[in-house]
Amino acid sequence: MRRAAAVVAAALAAVLVTTAPAEAHTTLTSSDPKKGATVTSPPQIRLTFADPVRFTGVVVLDAKGGHHESGKSQAVDNHVTEQVAGVLAPGVYTVGWRVVAPDGHPVTGEYTFTVKAGGGTASSAPSSAAPSSSAAPSAGPATTPAAESSKPASSAGWWWIGLAVLVVALAGGGLALARRRS
C-alpha cells in the first residue's frame, strides 16, 4: 500500500513539475477616449490590446442603455476600432468590448468616459490605469452600463482544479487496486 501511495505521489509530482503554464490572455493596454476622460464627442472608439485579437465586438452605451455604435468593429492586429453613430450628447458613456485572445479565450471589459458640451479638444483623464478587462466566456460585451470592475477572472484556476480532481481519482483507483491485490 505504501508503494502504491509513493507511485501515485511521484506521478502527481511529475505532472505538476512538467506542466507548462497556461498562456496569458491579452489585456487592454490603451483606449481612445481614455478611461475616465472628459472629451468632445469622439468620431470613433479605438482600443489597443497587448496582442493581436479577433472576433471583436464593441458597444458604446449612454446612461439609459442606448447604443451609439455604427456598424461592426474592425480589428487590425492589436487595434480595434468602432465608429460612433453621430454626435454624442453630453453625458457619461460606457464602452464595452469582447475580443478573442491569441490563446482562444474571450476577453471582456468595459470603461466609462464623459462627453462634455460644446466644442474643443479632449481634456486630461483622471486615471492612467488601463480600462478593466477579464477573461470570461460571455455572449458579448456588456449590454447595460455598470460600475467598472477591476476584478479579473480567469479560466486557468478551473484547469488546475480539474487536474487535481483527476489526480485524486487516479490515486483513489490506484489505492483500491493495491488493496485488492494485497
Domain boundaries, the chain: 2-22+157-181, 28-151
Closest CA to 159 of 63, 61, 29, 15: 15
**What one-character DSSP code corresponds to residue 53?**
-
Calpha distance 154→132 (Å, rounded) = 13
pLDDT digits (tens, 9 = 90+) for 97-132: 999 998 899 999 999 999 998 754 444 444 334 455
E strand or H helix at 156: helix 156-181
pLDDT digits (tens, 9 = 90+) for 126-142: 433 445 544 444 444 44
E strand or H helix at 132: strand 132-135
User: What is the percentage of the chain residues whose pLDDT exceeds 70?
Assistant: 60
Calpha distance 16→11 (Å, rounded) = 9
Q: Which CATH class is domain 28-151?
A: mainly beta
pLDDT given for residue 23 in this prediction: 54
pTM comes to 0.57
